[in-house]
Amino acid sequence: MTSLTPSRAGLARALSKMGYCSRSAAFRSIREGKVSVNGTIQRDPERPVSWQRDRIEVEGRVVAAPAKVYLMLNKPRGVVTTASDEKGRKTVYAGLDANLPWVGPVGRLDKASEGLLLLTNDSEWAARVLAPETHLSKTYHVQIATVADQPLLKTLIRGVASSDGGVLRAKAARLLRSGSKNSWLEIVLDEGKNRQIRRMLDACGVEVLRLMRVAIGPLTLGELAKGDWRFLTKEEKRGLDSAMTR
């Protein structure tokens, strides 16, 4: 197997790392003969290239790595975290500025979930945010269709068995408030497995009514309105970076 330097990668991955498009979109463009390297059409998405030295073009236009951008979005419920949807559902890209460079979501929130979602064209940074070894906490507020008690909270922290033979557990769980028929919990994860909170609560026989991510590490959703987005400040980006290096 060829060993690639940090400035070299397979062609599809290089287009993604340059912030041009998603890796899957790059695969399609390459297979369709829309991408050339140093003047020659390439149809192999794994063809090694250097995005610093090779001239990469898509449909005749030179691809240059844009400046890195880091965004936060308050994802509404009912919106899917994808660039396009075969069912025609509204995606998180619908409200973004058309003048932005291509950005990809850092992880996902499922259709029924809402709240803080990061987007960036810095694929290496996104991978670090998602890497389990960084232990970057993600905080959620969850409304459940029952009145929570201490045994439920302890079970979430102790962990429940998952269908793949592993264990799903929360880093922390506490009661925020309760009504006569439902409760709001704060659940903190430092993993990020697919639909983890819903799967944990389902294993406990508890229905989730709403699920909202309110923080990633030190970054909080704050007063950002539903469906709105903004750039991270330098201080916010620095705070996330610091939280990942502790």
Instruction: Tell me, yes or no, if 110 is annotated catalytic.
Output: yes
The strand pairing partners of 184, in sequence order, are 143, 177
CA 13/CA 204 separation, integer angstroms:
40
CA 136/CA 231 separation, integer angstroms:
20
List for the chain the helix, strand, coil content (%; round to 5).
25, 30, 45
For residue 197, what is the enclosing H or E element? helix 196-203
Of 139, 150, 141, the closest CA to residue 215 belongs to 139
CA atoms 153, 159, 164, 165: torsion sign: negative
**Rg of the chain's alpha carbons, rounded to an integer?**
20
CA atoms 79, 200, 215, 223: torsion sign: positive
From 44, 97, 110, 122, the catalytic residue = 110
Residue 68: is it exposed, middle or buried by C-beta count within 10 angstroms (0-12/13-18/19+)?
middle
Q: Tell me, letter by letter, the H, E, C secondary structure of 43-111.
A: CCCCCEEECCCCCEEECCEECCCCCCCEEEEEECCCCECCCCCCCCCCEHHHHCCCCCCCCEECCCCCC
- Catalogue the active-site residues: 110
